[in-house]
Amino acid sequence: MATVNSNYLKLKAGYLFPEIARRVNTFAAENPDAKIIRLGIGDVTEPLPLACRQAMMAAIEDMGDRSSFKGYGPEQGYAWLREKIAIHDFQARGCDISADEIFISDGSKCDTGNILDIFGDDNSIAVTDPVYPVYVDTNVMAGHTGDANERGEYAGLVYLPITAENNFTAQIPTEKVDLIYLCFPNNPTGATATREHLTEWVNYALANGSIIFFDAAYEAYITDPSLPRSIYEIDGARDCAIEFRSFSKNAGFTGTRCAFTVFPRTLTAKANDGSDVNLWQLWNRRQSTKFNGVSYIVQRGAEAVYSEDGQAQIKELVRFYLENARIIREQLTLAGLQVYGGVNAPYVWVQTPNGLSSWDFFDKLLHTCNVVGTPGSGFGAAGEGYFRLSAFNSRENVEEAMKRITATFAG
C-alpha cells in the first residue's frame, strides 16, 4: 500500500491563512449583509503598471507570429531580464552581482521552500519568532524538525524572538547555526534592519560557516536612504547569503507570478566528506531539473519595470501603499492602540488591547468592525498578543476600516 510523507502529519491543524478564510467565510455566511474589509493577507489590489501591461500585450503579439514565437525559455530566466535586474537592483547600489547570478522564478514563497532541496538534512536552522510561516512549514515538510510543542514550536529549530524590546530585529544567537532565515523589511512586524545590524549577521555567518536566507520581498518600501535594501550592500555577504526578491509587492505581480533569487557564484557549503561544494551549480541543476521557467509574456512585463515609465509607475504604487500604512498607523495610534511598523514597510504590527489574545482580537475586529487582519500568534509563539494589518487595499477601504476601528476603540 502507498504511504504518505509523515512529516506533513506534524504540521499544525491549519495553515494560518486558510484558518482565517474559514472564520471569515463562516461569519459572512451568517451575516450576508456585512461589508467585510480585508486587511489580512498581503495581496495587492491596484492594477498592474501600464508599462508592464503594454509590454505583456506586445509579448502576446510576439507569440502570434512564427518568427517571434517563444517556446521553452531558459530555466534560469531570459538574459535580457536578468541583466536589467543586475544593473538596476544591485550594481546601481554598489553590489557586486552579475546577471548570471540571478535566477528568475514564479515567486519568493516558492523559492524559500525550494531552496531546501540543495541543503542537507543535518543543518541546524534558525528562524525568527514571529516568522513568515512558510519558512517553518517547508522545513517541517522536508523532515528537518521534530514535533511541535504546545506553543507551536518545532523541535529541531532555533527560534530567535523578535520583540518590542529588541526593536523586532533578531538578535545574534549564542549557539552556532547553519541556516538562518532573515526577512527585512520584516513580515509580519514591519521592522527594518540597519546596516550595522546586517553587518553583525554577515560577520556571524562568515565566522560560523553559516548561510543566510535573506528575504527582501519588501525592499521597495524602504524610503530611508540609510537603510540597506540588499544584504549584498554589506561586505562579505557574497560569501554567506542568498537573497530572495519579488515583483509581487512593488509591481503588483501577485497574480502574474514573477520573482528571482540571487545566488553568488562564490557561495559554498560542505559535502559529507568535508570538501567545499559550489552552491550556484547545485541550484542551477535543481532549477534545470525541476523548473521550466517563467512565461515569456510575464518576463517581458517584469522587464518593463526597469523602463523609465515602469520605474515611475512602480514608485507611485509603492507610495500609494505606504500612504495607506501611514493612515493605518496614525489612526490606530489615535485610537489608543500601541502600534509598530508601517514605516519603510507595508505592514502595521499592533499590540492587542486589554490583554486580548491574538485570535480573540481577530474575532472582535471581524464581528464588531467587519474588518479582517492577521493574528500575530499565527506567525509564532512570540507573536501572541499582537496583530498584523496590511496596507495592501484601496484607499476607500483603508479609510473606512480605520473609521470603524477607531469608533470601536477610541471611546
Binding residues: 15, 42, 72, 108-109, 132, 187, 218, 246-248, 257, 292, 388
SS (H, E, C) 271-315: CCCCCEEEHHHHHHHHHHHHCCCCCHHHHHHHHHHHCHHHHHHHH
Which DSSP letter does residue 339 get? E
Amino acid at 21: A
Q: Report which of 170, 159, 210 is spatially closest to residue 194, judged by C-alpha positions.
A: 170
d(CA 25, CA 372): 11
239 grid coordinates: 560569501
Contacts of 233 by beta carbon, 8 Å cutoff, 6+ apart? 93, 94, 95, 195, 198
Binding-site residues for pyridoxal 5'-phosphate sit at 72, 108-109, 132, 187, 218, 246-248, 257, 292
Binding-site residues for substrate sit at 15, 42, 109, 132, 187, 292, 388
Contacts of 184 by beta carbon, 8 Å cutoff, 6+ apart? 169, 191, 192, 193, 198, 214, 215, 216, 218
* DSSP reduced 3-state for 243: strand
84 grid coordinates: 536589467
